[in-house]
């Protein structure tokens, strides 16, 4: 379809992982339509580049557990969100490196994956240490059951990262990089296009899709007058569409790192040692071989629910607020560790990691934990208070 350079059939705001896929698939499905993809930057170090996080993150390929998707489907009353409803799309995306299991995996998708094959010298020791704490072996954590110890699958292939902008291809999509959107334009409660920070406007004939991530999307919509009435009043932004959930319900996954010196450093088995770095295959992807997933005990979760007075983390405990300037960072209050549920889950994770290090197989590889200078080494029998203090300092 012809037209000027300010009007497109579809405008996708945000050229990250999802934005690239949406733009590419839309153009592929409707080759006669015009599609514009707007990306704020071209700096991969800040994930502000085409492909977003898929160009810079760890690259672990994980679907999640069947139960989570099925809960979504039950919550919204739509089986398309269930694990089986999503499965055709999972399969369509991937060229899977493990197990000829066509019921669960695809082998002709654009994202080429890899798993192992690099011969890390500590591979068997790490697996045995995890199995020693009664984590079950799971040959494939991407089959709907994510529990246990599994071979790590990652979005790398032949030493190259399979990131969205490359694997899906953006042929025929009009790209605007280093282009920041100030607002989406709303007329009679319908989005008609976007305005860039340089005041240039782009108009959409069919739709505008905002895909700026979990933090920037609510910021952009709020600055456009779509959001909570109290927040818009505070920012002195006219209300275009009230959406009282805007900026709430952020879900995140805190992490904590532990460092333990190798028991035989002279063997050169650790990442960064001369022997390790001399093998170029060790640098193809993330230097990991195993992925483990475990659940906190029902007793721990039950006790946490008694303390909190509710069964789990309330979704509206996490808030994203904005400043009336698209160049400013939004204010995020994640409320990490604000509930006993949070603290119990992280304590269980830390204790499990320490038990793995303390197992016979673990002790063959590492000494006790090497803590930050202001702390003493942890062990699996450290008190809740001691664990909480470390978690607060490092999570």
pLDDT digits (tens, 9 = 90+) for 31-51: 999 999 999 987 655 567 888
Query: What CATH topology corresponds to 62-112?
Result: Arc Repressor Mutant (1.10.1220)
Domain ranges, ordered by start, for the chain: 7-57+164-242, 62-112, 268-394
Query: How big is the CA angle at 195 (ends 318 and 233), to the nearest 5 degrees?
Result: 45
H helices of the chain, in order, are 17-29, 66-76, 83-93, 123-132, 164-167, 213-223, 229-235, 274-278, 298-308, 340-358, 360-363, 384-394
Distances 350 to 22, 206, 341, 344 between C-alpha atoms, Å? 38, 49, 14, 10
* Beta carbons within 8 Å of 112's beta carbon, 6+ residues apart: 95, 155, 157, 158, 162, 167
pLDDT digits (tens, 9 = 90+) for 279-307: 888 877 788 889 899 988 889 989 989 99
In the chain, what are the helix, strand and coil shares in percent, each to the nearest 5?
35, 20, 45
pLDDT bucket at 322, cuts 50 / 70 / 90: low
Round to the nearest angstrom and report the end-to-end CA distance of the chain. 51
56 vs 151, residue with greater confidence: 151
Least reliable range by pLDDT among 100-109, 173-182, 307-316: 307-316
For residues 205 and 291, what is the distance between their CA atoms, to the nearest angstrom? 45
DSSP state of 53: G
For residues 26 and 34, what is the distance between their CA atoms, to the nearest angstrom? 9
Q: Give residue 1's pLDDT.
A: 41
Average pLDDT, the chain: 89
Residue 395 has pLDDT above 90, yes or no: no
pLDDT bucket at 25, cuts 50 / 70 / 90: very high
Q: Give residue 26's pLDDT.
A: 97
Same fold, 7-57+164-242 and 62-112: no
Query: What CATH topology corresponds to 7-57+164-242?
Result: FAD/NAD(P)-binding domain (3.50.50)
For residues 380 and 385, what is the distance between their CA atoms, to the nearest angstrom? 13
Residue 69 has pLDDT above 60, yes or no: yes
For residues 90 and 104, what is the distance between their CA atoms, to the nearest angstrom? 8
Q: Give residue 256's pLDDT.
A: 86
* Beta carbons within 8 Å of 11's beta carbon, 6+ residues apart: 35, 36, 38, 193, 194, 202, 204, 207, 208, 209
For residues 26 and 208, what is the distance between their CA atoms, to the nearest angstrom? 12
Q: Which residues pair with 176 in a beta bridge?
A: 38
Q: Residue 303, exposed/middle/buried by CB under 10 A (0-12, 13-18, 19+)?
A: middle
């Amino acid at each position: 379809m012809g037209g000027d350079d300010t009007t497109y059939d579809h405008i996708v705001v945000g050229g990250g992982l999802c934005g690239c896929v949406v733009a590419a698939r839309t153009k592929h499905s409707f080759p006669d339509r015009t599609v514009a993809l707007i990306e704020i930057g071209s700096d991969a170090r800040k994930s502000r580049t085409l492909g977003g996080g898929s160009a810079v993150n760890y690259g672990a390929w994980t679907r999640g557990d069947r139960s989570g998707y099925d809960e979504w489907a039950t919550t919204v009353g739509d089986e398309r969100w269930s694990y089986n409803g999503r499965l055709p799309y999972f399969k369509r995306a991937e060229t899977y490196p493990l197990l000829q299991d066509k019921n669960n995996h695809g082998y002709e998708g654009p994202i080429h994956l890899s798993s192992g094959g690099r011969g890390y010298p500590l591979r068997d020791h790490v697996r045995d240490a995890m199995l020693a704490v009664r984590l079950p072996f799971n040959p494939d954590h991407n089959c709907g059951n994510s529990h246990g110890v599994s071979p790590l699958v990652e979005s790398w292939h032949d030493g190259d990262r399979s990131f969205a902008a490359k694997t899906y291809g953006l042929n025929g999509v009009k790209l605007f990089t280093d282009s920041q959107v100030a607002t989406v334009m709303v007329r009679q409660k319908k989005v008609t296009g976007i305005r860039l920070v340089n005041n240039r406007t782009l108009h959409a004939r069919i739709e505008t899709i905002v895909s700026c991530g979990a933090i920037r999307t609510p910021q952009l919509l709020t600055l456009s007058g779509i959001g909570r009435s109290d927040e818009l009043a505070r920012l002195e932004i006219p209300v275009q569409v009230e959406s009282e959930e805007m900026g709430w319900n952020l879900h995140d996954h805190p992490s904590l790192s532990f460092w333990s010196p190798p028991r035989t450093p002279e063997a050169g088995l650790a990442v960064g040692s001369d022997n390790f770095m001399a093998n170029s295959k060790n640098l193809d992807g993330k230097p990991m071989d195993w992925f483990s997933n475990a659940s906190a005990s029902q007793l721990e979760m039950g006790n946490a629910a008694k303390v909190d007075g509710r069964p789990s983390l309330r979704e509206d405990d996490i808030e994203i607020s904005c400043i009336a300037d698209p160049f400013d960072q939004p204010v995020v209050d994640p409320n990490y560790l604000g509930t006993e549920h949070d603290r119990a889950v992280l304590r269980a994770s830390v204790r499990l990691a320490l038990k793995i290090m303390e197992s016979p197989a673990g002790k063959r590889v590492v000494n006790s934990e090497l803590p930050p200078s202001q702390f003493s080494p942890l062990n699996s029998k450290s008190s809740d208070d001691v664990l909480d203090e470390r978690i607060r300092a490092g999570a």
